[in-house]
């Protein structure tokens, strides 16, 4: 091995291999794109992550593997999986399926946005909510969906225990149109007391862009890094 290639290998030591694989997977599927995109907070982001584009069986199956691997490695304890409407419903279902495939079979439930007034009625579908509940979602922009899920879970007599997401943007949340000094993930962890784990973080994306700078991603990394510097939290 040449000295140059050896140094390239050294750069990879200590990197989160699962996160790096996930970033590559998201890029290959067009889920993670670069350019100029307006966020809900009105910011111009140099990247866009749209989990709705995990839109076929193969992609969903691989996505579920990433979620399950991260969860099982995290050590987070939970008794069941909950998928909040709408994006959380298919995500929660495939994660529960993959967990069972890997030997961790747990109940699964989800909610409707509007209560059903016939049949079984109510807003909850699936297994009864009980014990320590794991909430599955794609990203966390403001923590609003999590707060709604917590209220629903607690009203059923269960405990909202943890959240797993695909990507942690690691950027400042907004309140009343103003930036605050914490992210939505930090708010959920520190203010609501829930554990949060993510398959990948913005820092992992920056590491990926650095490791693949030879592929013409130097400018992209500079834009993402500048965005992180302006809106990021640590």
Domain containing 152 — which CATH number? 3.40.50.2020
118 is catalytic: yes
pLDDT value of residue 183:
94
116 is catalytic: yes
pLDDT value of residue 232:
95
pLDDT value of residue 213:
82
pLDDT value of residue 216:
81
pLDDT value of residue 9:
44
Question: Pairing state of beta strands 178-183 and 172-175?
Answer: antiparallel
pLDDT value of residue 114:
73
The two three-digit tokens of residue 234, written as one number: 């640590």
Query: What is the Cα 124 distance to its own chain's centre?
Result: 23
Indicate which residue of 7, 40, 113, 118 is catalytic. Answer: 118
Residue 89 belongs to what domain range? 3-231
pLDDT value of residue 115:
65
pLDDT value of residue 96:
98
pLDDT value of residue 120:
55
Count how many domains the chain has.
1
Indicate which residue of 11, 12, 38, 116 is catalytic. Answer: 116
pLDDT value of residue 112:
87
Question: Are 180 and 232 a contacting pair, CB within 8 Å?
Answer: no
Full DSSP string of 123-189: EEEESPP-SEEEEE-SB-SSSHHHHHHHHHHHHTT-EEEEEEEEEE--BEEEETTEEEEEEHHHHHH
Residues of the chain with pLDDT under 70: 1-14, 115-121
């Amino acid at each position: 091995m040449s000295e140059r290639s050896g140094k390239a290998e050294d750069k990879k030591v200590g990197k989160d291999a699962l996160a790096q694989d996930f970033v590559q997977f998201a890029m290959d599927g067009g889920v993670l794109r670069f350019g100029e995109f307006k966020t809900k907070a009105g910011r111009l982001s140099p990247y866009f992550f749209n989990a709705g584009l995990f839109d076929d069986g193969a992609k969903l199956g691989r996505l579920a593997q990433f979620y399950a691997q991260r969860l099982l490695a995290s050590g987070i304890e939970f008794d069941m999986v909950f998928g909040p409407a709408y994006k959380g419903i298919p995500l929660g279902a495939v994660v529960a399926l993959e967990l069972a495939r890997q030997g961790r079979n747990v109940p699964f439930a989800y909610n409707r946005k509007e209560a059903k007034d016939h049949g079984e009625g109510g807003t909850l579908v699936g297994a009864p909510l009980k014990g320590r509940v794991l909430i599955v979602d794609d990203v966390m922009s403001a923590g609003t969906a999590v707060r709604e899920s917590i209220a629903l879970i607690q009203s059923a007599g269960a405990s909202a225990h943890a959240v797993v997401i695909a990507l942690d943007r690691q950027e400042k949340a907004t309140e009343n149109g103003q930036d605050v000094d914490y992210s939505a993930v930090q708010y959920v962890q520190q203010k609501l007391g829930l554990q949060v784990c993510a398959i990948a973080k913005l820092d992992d994306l920056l590491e990926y862009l650095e490791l693949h700078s030879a592929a013409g991603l130097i400018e992209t990394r500079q834009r993402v890094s500048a965005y992180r510097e302006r809106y990021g939290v640590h």
